[in-house]
Amino acid sequence: MATILALSIVGPGALAVAGDDGPPHAVRPDRPTRTILRPTEIPDLDPAFVARSSDRPVCVLVSGIGSDAPDATFDRLVAALESQCEVHRFGGDPRYPYDTHGAIGSNADHLIAEVKELAKTHPEIKIVAHSMGGPVVDDAFRRGLSAGDKVTTYVALAAPHNGSTEAKAILPRLEQASVLGVIPEFRAITAGVGQDAGTPAVRDLAAIRAGPPPAGVRRVDLRVATDPIVTAPDAWTPGVESRTLLPSSLRYLEGHGGIMADPQAIALVTAAVGGGLPTLDWRGRILQFAAGQVSAKIAEIAPSVYAAIASLCLVGACVWALRRRRRTLLAGLVA
């Protein structure tokens, strides 16, 4: 485990973005350059974001923590959905930013704004969310998004509607890291493992609780039994149609990310977006029962596993901090 944690600590990356400002404009020589507006600085005038009416429904895809709109998370699902609807990635339009490490509430507000804008030009809105995207959508409904905004369908994949067991295990160790003075090291290690303990998103994921499904909206939850990130209690929501799947092959054994590529899951999402899940036959009911048993076992051990991982992260942070301070002290003595 220590080796895995060490290998998972990576340095921050940077993304350089370049743009073409177009032909030069004639301006007064006494006018400060920084006050000149280029077309791309006025989103309403940017051709890429001018609203266009369409008779096709829209599928808005909301991804999870640490993702961004250009990543490959939804690629296979996009390919499957494009015949049914016009696909939009939440966060792809700069007018409605999505900070996947930020507070769930502010992201929900941006999602509401984008859906309302799309509703002006399209007949129907369908939302598909993965992981933390589920709580963002849930909060959008709590904040006023509704069937009145032309939302007809909401499909959640591996979403922790009822809070994250992982986040709940991390936060107490963050408090201990604060007492020990090793918060930077602890945050670096937990970010390498998967969730930066200091972000608003993780704090929100530890605190959220499931509420009732939105009225008038077809709601479906899907998850894979072998998902180690979102357990069955995390995903539970009262009164919602849900399916727990067994992975269709070993290739998709890690159920949290695997659900986004598993052919059976993609087929069920497209069915749900198209009108509803198919009825389970006798074989499907047996597989559903087996998936439930596997899922229950994982949920039983997950809290202890996450608590142990969080404790190891704290120990690693203390060792890292001591070594860093020792090197600093030695360097000072040598100087």
Give the tens place of pLDDT for each residue, 263-320.
Answer: 999 999 999 999 888 888 888 899 999 999 999 999 999 999 999 999 999 999 999 9
Which of 43-52, 121-130, 293-302 bottoms out in mean pLDDT, i.e. has the lowest?
A: 43-52
Among 20-24, 47-51, 80-84, 200-204, where is mean pLDDT lowest? 20-24
Q: What's the confidence (pLDDT) of residue 16? A: 27
Who wins on pLDDT, 221 or 43?
Answer: 221
| Alpha carbon distance 299, 279 (integer Å) | 26
Burial track 53-64 (b if 16+ CB lie within 10 A, e otherwise): eeeebbbbbbbb
Residue 69 near residue 90, CB atoms below 8 Å = yes
pLDDT-based confidence at residue 182 (cuts at 50, 70, 90) = very high
What's the gap between Cα 223 and its chain centre? 14
Range from 2-6, 84-88, 182-186 carrying the lowest mean pLDDT:
2-6
Give 240-261 pLDDT, tens digit per residue: 999 999 999 999 999 999 999 9
Q: Is the pLDDT of residue 50 over 60?
A: no
Rg (alpha carbons) of the chain, rounded to whole number? 23
pLDDT score recorded for residue 49: 54
* pLDDT confidence tier of residue 335, bands split at 50, 70 and 90: low
The upper half-sphere exposure of residue 122, i.e. CA atoms within 13 Å in the direction of its Cβ, equals 23
Which pLDDT belongs to residue 334?
Answer: 65
Domain ranges of the chain: 49-167+209-300
Distance CA 269, CA 16 (A): 35
Q: What is the pLDDT of residue 222?
A: 97
Give the span between the Cα atoms of 150 and 118, in whole angstroms. 9
Say yes or no to pLDDT of 29 above 70.
Answer: no
B/e letters for 124-134, b = 16+ CB within 10 Å, e = fewer, are: bbbbbbbbbbb
Tell me how long the chain is. Answer: 335
Mean pLDDT value across residues 184-198: 86
Is the pLDDT at 78 greater than 80? The verdict is: yes
Q: With a cut of 50, say whether residue 3 has pLDDT above it.
A: no
Element (H, E) at 268: helix 263-274
Question: pLDDT at position 82, please?
Answer: 94
* Between residues 319 and 195, the one the model is more confident about: 319
Q: What is the largest CA-CA distance in the chain?
A: 79
Query: Is 90 exceeded by the pLDDT of residue 31?
Result: no
Residue 27 has pLDDT above 60, yes or no: no
Residue 130, amino acid: H
- Whether 43 shows a pLDDT value over 60: the answer reads no
How much is the mean pLDDT over the chain?
84
Find the mean pLDDT for residues 73-94.
94
Is the pLDDT at 9 greater than 50? The verdict is: no
Instruction: Give yes or no for residue 62 having a pLDDT over 90.
Output: yes
Cross-sheet strand order for the sheet of 58-62? 86-89, 58-62, 125-130, 151-157, 218-224, 241-245
Pairwise CA distance, residues 229 & 302, whole Å: 9
Q: What is the pLDDT, as a whole number, of residue 5?
A: 34
The neighbour count for residue 49, using CB atoms within 10 Å, is: 17
The pLDDT-based confidence of 30 (bands split at 50, 70, 90) is very low
Q: What is the pTM of this model?
A: 0.82
Residue with the two structure tokens 């598909």: 128
Q: What percent of the chain has pLDDT over 90?
A: 71
Q: What is the pLDDT of residue 2?
A: 38
Q: Which of 200, 190, 216, 222 is nearest to 136 (CA)?
A: 200
137 with 154: CB under 8 angstroms? yes
CATH number of 49-167+209-300: 3.40.50.1820
